[in-house]
Amino acid sequence: MVTAGLGTMDRPGAEQVEVREAALREAWSAWPGVASGRHVPPPIKADVRSLSFWYGKVQAVKNVSIPIADRRVTALIGPSGCGKTTLLRCFNRMHDLYRNTRYEGQIVLHPSGTDIIDRGVNPIEMRMRIGMVFQKPNPFPKSIFENVAFGLRMKGFRGRSEIADRVEAAIRAAALWDEVSDRLRKPAYDLSGGQQQRLCIARALATEPEMVLFDEPTSALDPVATARIEELVQSLKERVTVLIVTHNMQQAGRVSDFTAFMYLGEMVEFDRTEKVFQNPGKQLTEQYISGRFG
């Protein structure tokens, strides 16, 4: 993957790194269980602090705090309507597209220290830094190539060969290159559902985001396509931080390093995935994991 690009613009100086590491240690200190013992805590990519979110008068996310570990996969699970997708969509300010919505709290993106939901932060900038993959594959009705190139053009890339290189790199990263390399100019809608979803992943990866959000990315796909996407999500963590919403608990178990269980807008439990699934700390989590509700 080509590494030059606008993604490097936030590289901090040495002095700031020190300050930030202190902040990271402090952030993890709120989660002694997760970071203790033999598990060396990874740096935190995004820190959700006391986040609340309202649709009009309805509070969908209630005072949630979660650390999102850098270049790891964090899963949000919980029954439908528990606010996991709402929480996910706070990360790229998708709620700003609709009226009557309100955030409270912070989502601090490290290492730049930007508070994503701060009113003074441009949502468009956040969306360029944080990619998203949706529930239903939603490629644009354009060619395969143009789907991936769009974000690059948004970010201001102009050179034809540079765009072509980056498009290829992104499609390769989404494990789609071998299937589409000979028909990049064909409409994206000719692809199968699973291929379309991998194309959407390539689209999100092309601009080298710091983080990628997945909103139940396999719920519209068959089991074979689902397996490929899961494999892909796991491989992505080498380069990018992943936050994934799923209502499929096996999936959360298979792909994620950390899991947050939400219920009725509240975060019930957050821990390493194997801990949540093998030895949950809360009764509610245990009931949900064992399929007694939801």
Partner 1 sequence: MVQPRDAAQAAKPVERSVPRADAAASMRFRRAVVDRAMQGVLGLAAASSIAVTLGIVYILISESVPFFRAVGLKTFLTDTMWTPQFAVPRYGIVPLLMGTLVTTMVALAVALPAGSIIAIWLSEFAPARLRETVKPVLELLAAVPTVVYGYFALLFVTPLLQRLWPDLPTFNMLGAGLVMGIMIIPYVSSLSEDAMRAVPMLLREGSFAVGGNKIVTATRVVFPAALSGIAAAYVLGISRAVGETMIVAVAAGQQPLILDPARPLDAMNPGQPGATITAFIVSVSLGDVQHGEIGYQAIFAAGLTLFVATLGFNVAGYLLRKRFRQAY
Partner 2 sequence: MTSIERVIRFRRYQDIGFQVLGASLTVIALLVLGALVLDLAKTGLGRLSWSFLASFPSRKAEQAGIASAIVGSFYVMVVTAFTAIPLGVAAGVYLEEYSRRNWFTAVIEINIANLAGVPSIVYGLMALSLFVYTFGLGESILAGGLTLALLILPIVIVATREALRSIPQHIREAAYAMGATRWQVVRYHLLPYSTGGIATGVIIALSRAIGETAPLITIGALTFIAFLPPTPFSPRPEEDGGGLYGPFEWLDSGFTVLPIQMFNWVSRPGDAFLANAAAAGIVLIVATLGLNALAIVVRNRMRRRIRW
Which chain residues interact with partner 2 by CB under 8 A? 92, 94, 97, 99, 124-128, 131-132, 134, 136, 138-142, 150-151, 154-155, 189, 200, 203-204, 207
Strand partners, 74: 243, 258
Could you tell me which of 242, 248, 260 has the C-alpha nearest to residue 64? 260
Residue 241 burial by Cβ neighbours in a 10 Å radius (0-12, 13-18, 19+) = buried
Q: Which residues of 119-136 are buried (b: 16+ CB within 10 A; e: fewer)?
A: eeeebeebbbbbbbbbee
Compute the least distance from the CB of residue 120 to partner 1, in Å: 6
Compute the least distance from the CB of residue 150 to partner 1, in Å: 14
Could you tell me which of 121, 124, 95, 97 has the C-alpha nearest to residue 108? 121
Please identify, using beta-carbon distances, which residue of 2 and 154 lies nearer to partner 2. 154
Contact partner, 205, from partner 2, partner 1, none, Cβ < 5-8 Å per class: none
Contact partner, 50, from partner 1, partner 2, none, Cβ < 5-8 Å per class: none
Compute the least distance from the CB of residue 91 to partner 2, in Å: 10
| Contacts with partner 1, residue ranges (CB under 8 A) | 6, 8-12, 16, 93, 96-99, 112-115, 118-125, 155-156
- Residues contacting 176, CB < 8 A, separation 6+: 195, 198, 199, 202
Contact partner, 121, from partner 2, partner 1, none, Cβ < 5-8 Å per class: partner 1
Compute the least distance from the CB of residue 125 to partner 2, in Å: 7
Cα gap 111→134, rounded to integer Å: 26
